[in-house]
Copies of this chain bind each other. A is one copy, B any other.
C-alpha cells in the first residue's frame, strides 16, 4: 500500500561530490515515485561560469560567462564540477537555498566544511521541523579541546536528526557509474523507532516526530534513496566512526605517500596503513565513548578500511606526500605547485589532531599521528617512521 505522503529530497551543495550524490538521489526518486517526490532540488552556490572549449557543449564561440544553475539545468550536467556526466532530468539546480529546502523532509548536506555553519544558520526556521538529514561531508571539526562531528553541528543548529554518509567514494568514479560501496550511519532517537544504540549525542531529545502519512525515515528508506546497482549501501548505527574515519585516513595517507616516495614498496605502505587504521580505532574509542563507537566500523565498513585503501592508492594526500619526498621539497610546496589553490586536508587534520592530542596529553599513544605531525613540522624525517611507530621493540632477554 502506497503511503499517503511522499518525501521531498533536497541536496544542499553541488560540488564534485555533491553533484555525484545528487545524481544518485534523483535516479532513485525517479525509480521510486511511490515514496519520493521525483523532483530533487540541488542547492547551488550561484557563480558565473564560461564553458571551456573542452566541454562538449562548447559551440565554437564562447557565449561568455553564464550562471552555473542555468547551465546545469539547461545541459543536465554540472559543467564546472562534474563535467561530462549526464544528470537526471528530475534534478533541478536551484540558487535559492530557502526555495530549495522548502517542504523538504530529507536534506542531504554535501558542501565544503567551511560553509556548513553559515549555511545552517541561514536554514534556521526555513526547514520543516520534522526533516531528517544526512551529512556527506568528510572530516570533523577539531578545536584544541574538542572534536565535533559535522552531523552533530548540523543536528544542533537545526534541531533535526542528522546521520552521516562516507565511504571509498571518489566522486568522478561514481559519476561514471563505476562500482563503489558506501556506508550510511543513521541512528536517530527512538521517536523514529529504528534506533538500536542506547547512546545519543546531545540535543536530540526534542526531535519532532515525522507526521503520520509519511513513510518512516529508516534504514529501508535510506537504502532505497541511495542504493544503486553501481553504488552499494550498507547502513550502520555508528555515526561517530563513520565520520571520524573520513578525516583521520588523510593523515595516514600522508605517511603512506612518504614511504612510497622513499621507494620502500608495498610491504611498507601496507604496514603504515595497518598501524594507521588501528590508531583511528583507538582515537575513536578514546574520545567518542558514549557515542556507540564500534571497532568494526573502522575495520569492516566502506567508510573505514575501504576508504583508507582508496585514499592510500591515488588520493591527493598520498600523491602529494609521495612527490614531496621524490622531489625533496616540503609538502607545502607540492601543495602550492600542484593543487591550484586547493589545500591538502591531511595537513590541516594532522595539525588539528596533534593540538587536540597535546591538549589531552595523549600524543605518545598515537605514534603514527604524532610522527606525521613531527615530519610535517620538519622535526623528524619520513625515513625514521619505522622507529617512530615502533611500540613494542624486541625485548631484552
Residues of A within 8 A of B (CB): 28, 32, 34-35, 168-170, 173-174, 178-181, 215, 220-221, 223-224, 227, 229-230, 232-234, 259, 263-271, 273-275, 277-278, 281, 296, 299-302, 305-307, 309-310, 313-314, 385-387, 390, 392-395, 397
Q: CA of A11 to CA of B30 in the docked complex: distance in angstroms?
A: 64
A265 and B173 in contact, given A270-B309, A306-B274 (Cβ under 8 angstroms) = yes
A173 and B32 in contact, given A232-B386, A300-B278 (Cβ under 8 angstroms) = no
How many copies make up the complex? Answer: 2
Q: CA of A100 to CA of B365 in the docked complex: distance in angstroms?
A: 44
Q: Which residues of B contact A263 (CB under 8 A)?
A: 178
Q: CA of A397 to CA of B217 in the docked complex: distance in angstroms?
A: 12
**Contact B224 A267, beta carbon cutoff 8 Å:** no
Q: CA of A194 to CA of B347 in the docked complex: distance in angstroms?
A: 43
**Contact B267 A170, beta carbon cutoff 8 Å:** yes
Q: Which of B234, B277, B397 contacts A221 (CB 8 A)?
A: B397
Taking A169-B267, A178-B265, A179-B264 as given, write out 19 further A-B residue pairs in contact, using a Cβ cutoff of 8 Å, ordered by the A residue number.
A34-B397, A168-B274, A170-B265, A173-B268, A179-B259, A179-B386, A180-B267, A180-B268, A223-B395, A227-B393, A227-B394, A232-B390, A270-B307, A273-B306, A273-B309, A274-B305, A274-B306, A278-B300, A296-B299
A-B contact pairs, 7 of them (CB 8 A): A34-B397, A168-B270, A215-B397, A224-B394, A267-B310, A270-B310, A271-B306
